[in-house]
Structure 1
Amino acid sequence: MDIHHEVHGTDEGRPLLLVHGALSGIGTSFGLILPLLAKSRRVIAVELQAHGHTPDIDRPLTVEAFADDVVGLLDRLGVDRADVFGWSMGAAVALRLGTDHADRVGRLVLASVSFDDAGLHPGLLDGIQDLQPEHLHGSEFHEEYLRTAPDPSGWPGLVTKMKVLDANLPHWTPEQIRALQAPVMIVLADSDIIRPEHAVEMFRLLGGGVPGDLTGLPRCRLAILPGTTHTTVPHRADWLAPMIDEFLDAVTA
C-alpha cells in the first residue's frame, strides 16, 4: 500500500505530521489549518488506508496498523522524529505512536481523543452498527471521498470497516498515559464527543492541573474550544494554529 502524503512548508526544524479523522482526509481535517502551520515548519500530511487518495487493502482498519504505516512512511522519508497533530481517529493514531513508537515522536497535539471507552459520552455509539453508507451521502466527508479516492465506489467498504473499528476502539491504561515521554497538548471542543471530565483526567495523568505559579508549568497543556463541536474542531484554525505553534516551539523547563 502506498500511503498518500503531502509535504508543505519549510525544511526548518523538526517536521509536523498531520493525521486525519475517520472517514476524513487531509482537506476536511486540515484544509484550513495546514497553510497556517506550514508558514514556519515542514508539515507532512498523510491519508491512511482506505481514506482520501490512499487505496484500501485486504486488512482491517486498526489504530495499531495505522501507526505502523505512519512509521513506515517516516522511514521512507528519512524522518527520524516528528511532532504529531491528530484529530479524532488521527489523535488515537498519534497517541499510539507516542506509547508504542516513542523514539519517533517529538511532541503530540491530541484533538478529541479518549484513552478508554469511559471517555465517550454514555450511549454515544449506540446504534452505530446500523449506520449505512448512504446515510452519509452529501456530507463533506463523502464529497471529499468522491473527489479523491482511487476507487470512488469503495465508500460502502470504508464505512463497513470503520464500524468494526468503532466496535473495537483502542485502549490505554492510566499507567501508559503517565509514562508518555512526549510533551502533550490536549485539545477538546466544549461540546465534543469526548466528556470534558475525561480530558481533565488525562491532563492530570500527564502532570497537569497544578498551581503553575508555585510549581512551574507542566509539560502538558489543555485547550478547550468554546462553542465548538467534534466536527467543527477543524474549523477553528485561527484559534488552534497560534496555540499549536507556541506549544511546538516552547522550551521545556
Structure 2
Amino acid sequence: MKYLFYLTLLLNIPSFAATKDSSAVKTGYADVNGLRMYYEIHGAGNGVPLLLLHGGGSTIGTTFGRVLPALSAGRRVIAIELQGHGHTADRKTPFSFEQDADDAAALLSQLNVQQADVMGFSNGGNSAMMLAMRHPGKVRRLVVASVFYRKEGWVPGLEAMFRKADAAGMPPVLRNAYTTASPQPDPDTFVAKLMGRLLTFKDWQPDMLRAIKQPVLVLAGNHDVATMAHTVEMYQLFPNGQLAIFPGAHGTYLGEAAALDPASNAPARTAALVIEFLDAVAAK
C-alpha cells in the first residue's frame, strides 16, 4: 500500500482566491427517492465531475464555501444538500448513511452522470464511503474528510457531548444557514435526528473498507472527532489509500463555517491537495 502523509505546514502550494462567480452556478431540484433534492453545479468541463457531500447539520456553503471556487476552477462540481439539510426538505424517516448514499447515486443518475469523483466531510464523508460500498460503479476516486468507522475511534467525551446536544447549542452559523434555507425548519427535530444517527451507529467491519478498491484520500485535523490512531487505522484498511493530516480541529483545514479562521490559508492548501489527488494519473 502506498503511504502518502502530508503536513500542510510543509506544503508549498499556491493559494486560490476564495471568491465565487455566482453567475456560473446552476441550481435545481430533482425528485429523488421521495425527496425534492436541492443541488448546485459549479464550473464546467467534460471530464469526470466531482460530487460534494456536506457535513451533518450543514449546507453546501457552510461546509465547502471556502474551497468550492478552487475545486470548480477546472472541473464540473455537483454539490447536493442531503435529506433534511439546507434547501432539501426532510422525509419521515431517520437520517442514515445508507439512505444518503442511495439518494446521491439516484441524483447522479438523474443528471446522467455515470461516474463521479466523490468528496465528503464529516457525516458526508461517511455517506461518501457508503456510496462507494453500495454503488461502486458510481465512484472513480474518493476523498473522505474527518470520518470514522467505529465508535471506539471517537475522541474521549464526544459521545457524551452528542447525548447532551440540542438545537439551542447548535453553532449559530449552522443554525442560521439551516433555518434560512430549509423549506420546513424544525431545529429540535433536526438536531435529534442528527444525534440519533450517530448514537445508534453500528460499527462497520474492516472488510467493508477493504472492499473499497478505488483510490481514497483520507483527510483529518490533528485535533479532530476521531483519534489520530483511528484515522491511521482507517487509512491502512483502504487498498489504495492516501492520508493527509492537517494542523487544527474539525473542519479548520476546509474553512468549514463553524471552524472558520478568515486569515488562514489552509482551505487553499487543502483544495490544491485534493485537486492533485483527483488529477493524478492512475499507477500502472
Please tell me whether residue 242 in structure 1 is matched to residue 272 in structure 2: yes
Match of 2:213 in 1: 181
**Structure having greater relative contact order (Cα 8 Å, sep ≥ 6):** 2
Match of 2:282? 252
Residue pairs, 1:124-163, within 5 angstroms: 124-136=158-170, 139-152=172-185, 154-163=186-195
Specify the SS of the correspondent of 1:121: coil
Higher helix share: 1
SS in 2 for 1:125: helix
Post-superposition offset of 1:179 = 2.0
SS at 1:92 equivalent: helix
Q: Match for residue 38 of structure 2?
A: 4
Asked if 1:172 corresponds to 2:193, the answer is no
TM-score, with length taken from structure 2: 0.81
Counterparts of 1:94 and 1:18, CA distance in 2: 9
Residue 120 of structure 1 corresponds to: 154
| Deviations, residues 111-165 of structure 1 (Å, cap 9, x unaligned) | 00111112211331114222221122x621001112211123x111111111211
Q: Distance in 2 between matches of 1:12 and 1:196?
A: 38
Percent identical pairs in the alignment equals 38
Match of 2:73 in 1: 39
Count of residue correspondences: 239
Q: Which runs of 5+ in 1 are unaligned?
A: 208-218
Alignment correspondent of 1:220: 241
For residues 179 and 56 of structure 1, the distance between their equivalents in structure 2, rounded to whole angstroms, comes to 31
Alignment of 1:53-68 (within 5 A): 53-68=87-102
Query: TM-score normalised to the size of structure 1?
Result: 0.90
Q: 2:86, 2:115 → 1: CA distance?
A: 25
Amino acid at match of 1:146: T
Give ranges in structure 2 of 5+ residues lacking alignment.
1-34, 256-265
Alpha carbon RMSD of aligned pairs, Å?
1.3
